[in-house]
């Protein structure tokens, strides 16, 4: 699914009038593209995801889905830093929750959810509650819920940032393996430059507030990619290139 953002602006109320968080932003996500958004804190990355998800209306500009011919707006699913699992439901029911909202019969949605849990190594925890799982397992269950719903676009807001380094690498690889071949568009927000380069087809760098595009970098590494191994040698050069853009925009905390 193609996504276009044209002249996007977003204002928040401030004590002295509207505070512009995003300004004049133009961006296109190609069908099946894995696009990363990176920038300093407060530059509007998460706000952009909220607008793409239809959770917030832009103050200026237009978001469109050229070529979309469905009877209703395309389904766009969002995943956050927190897994968002419902604590009173089992893992199976959490994964199948979105399918119930789509009107799928119970037997069909449970079969699909079981298949995804098997793929992610969680079949033995289908009847467990989220508080009985480790942090990595909860995030893996959230991935299962995201992919089982078969949305046209997936919007991910630093989904692995709270995990330890080893678990994060494993889940990054699982995300790529699940996404590969689906044809789904992904917009992925991160503060981790190397993560963006290893996961994404393109990395869009945003300025400090108000967020504007300051660079649009095509990642030259072929797919499929293996996260659990030495990164391509070009990663270091690209990482420093992006860091040189971001460093002047980052204000150190006050002493």
Task: List the chain pLDDT tens, one digit each, 255 residues.
Answer: 899 999 999 999 988 888 999 999 999 999 999 999 999 998 999 999 999 988 899 999 999 998 887 766 677 777 776 778 999 999 999 999 988 888 899 999 999 999 999 999 999 999 999 999 998 999 999 999 999 988 889 999 999 988 999 999 999 999 999 999 899 999 999 999 999 999 999 999 999 999 999 999 999 999 999 988 888 888 889 999 999 999 988 766 554
Q: Does residue 163 fall inside a structural domain?
A: yes
Domain count of the fold of the chain: 2
Q: By the 8 A CB rule, do 110 and 92 touch?
A: yes
- For residue 88, the model assigns a pLDDT of 96
CA angle 212, 214, 215 (to 5 degrees): 130
Q: Are residues 23 and 142 in the same domain?
A: no
- In this structure, the answer to whether residues 167 and 95 fall within a common structural domain is no
State whether 157 and 245 are in the same domain: yes
Closest-CA residue to 190 (of 41, 89, 59): 41
Q: What is the pLDDT of residue 96?
A: 94
Q: Which of 100, 90, 97 is nearest to 122 (CA)?
A: 90
Question: Quick check: is 255 in a domain?
Answer: no
Pair 55, 92 in one domain: no
Identify the pLDDT of residue 252: 62
Together in a domain, 161 and 70? yes
Asked whether residue 178 falls in the same domain as residue 146, the answer is: no
Does residue 211 contact residue 45 with C-beta atoms inside 8 Å?
A: yes
134 and 33: one domain? no
> How much is the pTM?
0.92
Please say which residue of 126, 150, 174 terminates a domain: 150
Q: Judge whether 209 and 39 are in contact, CB under 8 Å.
A: no
Is there a single domain that holds both residue 91 and residue 109? Answer: yes
Among 150, 183, 207, give the residue marking a domain's end.
Answer: 150
User: Residues 63, 117: one domain?
Assistant: no
Residue 91, domain extent? 83-150
Q: Which of 150, 170, 198 is the last residue of a domain?
A: 150
């Amino acid at each position: 699914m193609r996504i276009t953002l044209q002249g996007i602006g977003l204002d928040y109320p401030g004590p002295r009038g509207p505070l512009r968080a995003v300004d004049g932003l133009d961006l296109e996500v190609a069908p099946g593209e894995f696009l990363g958004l990176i920038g300093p804190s407060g530059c509007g990355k998460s706000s952009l995801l909220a607008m793409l998800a239809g959770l917030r209306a832009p103050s200026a500009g237009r978001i469109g889905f050229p070529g979309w011919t469905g009877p209703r707006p395309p389904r766009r699913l969002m995943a956050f830093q927190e897994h968002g699992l419902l604590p009173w439901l089992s893992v199976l029911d959490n994964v199948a929750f979105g399918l119930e909202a789509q009107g799928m019969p119970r037997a069909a949605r449970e079969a699909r959810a079981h298949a995804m849990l098997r793929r992610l190594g969680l079949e033995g925890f289908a009847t467990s509650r989220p508080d009985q799982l480790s942090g990595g397992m909860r995030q893996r269950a959230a991935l299962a819920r995201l992919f089982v719903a078969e949305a046209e676009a997936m919007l991910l807001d630093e989904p692995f940032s709270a995990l330890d380094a080893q678990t994060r690498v494993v889940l990054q690889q699982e995300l790529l393996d699940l996404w590969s071949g689906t044809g789904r568009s992904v917009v992925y927000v991160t503060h981790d430059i190397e993560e963006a380069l290893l996961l994404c087809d393109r990395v869009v760098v945003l300025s400090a507030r108000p967020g504007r595009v300051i660079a649009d970098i095509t990642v030259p590494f072929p797919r499929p990619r293996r996260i659990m191994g030495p990164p391509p040698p070009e990663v270091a050069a690209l990482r420093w290139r992006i860091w040189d853009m971001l460093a002047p925009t980052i204000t150190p905390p006050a002493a």
